[in-house]
Amino acid sequence: MELKLALGEWSGRFDMEKAVCNHGFFMMSPNLWIPSTNSLRRPLRLSDSSRSVPVTISHPLHHPFLLIQVHHSPISSADEAVILEQVGRMLRISKKDERDVMEFQEMHSSARENGLGRIFRSPSFFEDAVKSILLCNCSWKRSLNMARALCLLQPKIALDGNARSKRKRSKCSDDIGNFPSWKELLAWSWVDEKYLIKQCNVGYRAARILQLATMFAQGDLREDHIAKLEQSSDPTSFETLYQKLLKIKGFGPFVCSNILMCVGFYQRIPSDSETIRHLKQVHGKQNCSKETIGKDVEEIYGKYNPFQCLAYWVELIEEYESKFGKQSKLEAANYHLITATSYLGTRE
């Protein structure tokens, strides 16, 4: 079946390719960008949150809506609403997001000329947060492999009994599922740190992932609260979330800033060794270091307040594409090659 998500008054300015292929998350499982059709394929949750269905998202030329092909039927009206909500989150289809894009483009001529200003994200805050953890202290290739391993694990720990039984009957050991939810990770006693390390090769990140899941289980973090925050312009609320995330063991400024960027707060730049490299090579900040990076990014990007992170990200996109060509044209098998410039890996 097919669903349509209206783009509203900004439909003439929406570019599917640029809305998706601007952040390494689009390369991470279970996302699959299809260059030949400029479409995105992945599983999305249904309203009961225990089941997922594969969907393909595209933007028909000159049409004021996104087309979502649901490769499963039938689904309920509640399921339809949840699927549209997830697509809207990933591609930032909201009045607040559009307002941010327009205000940022007024400040940044290159972003305006190239139609940039949206940062692709996941259908849920939890997936964004876990993927931010997967970026730390490793190569981009390993980040990709860890995300894929978690998606291969998901059918084994799915809360939906039918999905689990189908997995057992399947002869294919490479049957990729959705990104696991916090409920799935906590549902089975055998899914502990040792199991995640063995099955997904996530190393010490296993403890951080499970601690994050536990915060959701205990109500310290809630997707509905995050959804309301995403439509807010109150910096105090974002700062509260930032400080809460910092209390999670192993969640440093890079991870927390990256998560806030996904939420829609752009004043904190996720700074790491790649940021230092960028400032040295692009801005001539040869003395930039961990000690000076805060001052350096403020000097360069402070004029774009409250969109400092968007300005930084536009520069990275332009730099990477000047070296590797358009990200949207890369085949998935070649994503790992971008590690030549430490594309998204960080050392926090």
Pairing of strands 65-70, 2-6: antiparallel
Cα 158 to Cα 179: distance, rounded to the nearest angstrom: 10
Residue 268 pLDDT exceeds 90: yes
Average the pLDDT over 46-67 and give the result.
95
Between 294 and 339, where is the model more confident? 294
pTM of the prediction?
A: 0.92
Mean confidence (pLDDT) of the chain:
90
Per-residue HEC secondary structure of 184-244 comes to: HHHHCCCCCHHHHHHHHCCCCHHHHHHHHHHHHHCCCCCHHHHHHHHCCCCHHHHHHHHHH
Between 218 and 346, where is the model more confident? 218
Residue 328 pLDDT exceeds 70: yes
Average the pLDDT over 253-264 and give the result.
94
Residue 320 banded pLDDT, cuts 50, 70, 90: confident
Cβ-Cβ contacts under 8 Å for 256 (sequence gap 6 or more) = 242, 245, 246, 268
pLDDT tens by residue, 166-220 = 555 444 445 789 999 999 999 999 999 999 999 999 999 999 999 999 999 999 9
Residue 62 banded pLDDT, cuts 50, 70, 90: confident
pLDDT at 341: 43
pLDDT at 314: 92
Strands (E), 71-148: none
Residue position matching structure tokens 């291969």: 152
% the chain with pLDDT above 90 = 74
pLDDT at 331: 85
CA-to-CA dists, residue 296 to 86, 101, 262, 291, angstroms: 36, 24, 23, 10
Average the pLDDT over 244-255 and give the result.
90
Residue position matching structure tokens 């968007």: 310
> Which of 21-30, 207-216, 316-325 comes out lowest in average pLDDT?
316-325
pLDDT at 171: 43
Residue of 131, 143, 133 lying closest to 207 (CA atoms): 133
Cα 211 to Cα 207: distance, rounded to the nearest angstrom: 6
CA-to-CA dists, residue 273 to 48, 73, 215, 250, 341, angstroms: 41, 47, 29, 17, 11
% the chain with pLDDT above 70 = 93
Beta bridge partners of 52: 45
3-class secondary structure, 76: coil
pLDDT at 166: 56
pLDDT at 174: 55
Average the pLDDT over 318-336 and give the result.
85
Residue 237 banded pLDDT, cuts 50, 70, 90: confident
Cβ-Cβ contacts under 8 Å for 189 (sequence gap 6 or more) = none
Element housing 291 (H / E): none
Average the pLDDT over 14-22 and give the result.
94
Residue 162 pLDDT exceeds 80: no
CA-to-CA dists, residue 54 to 8, 176, 260, 308, 346, angstroms: 25, 11, 28, 35, 31
Residue 344 banded pLDDT, cuts 50, 70, 90: very low
pLDDT at 167: 54
Which range, 10-14, 53-57, 164-168, is most confident?
A: 53-57
Domains annotated on the chain, with CATH: 2-94 (3.30.310), 125-160+174-263 (1.10.340.30), 273-337 (no CATH)
Tokens representing residue 232 in the block? 């807010």
Residue 340 banded pLDDT, cuts 50, 70, 90: very low
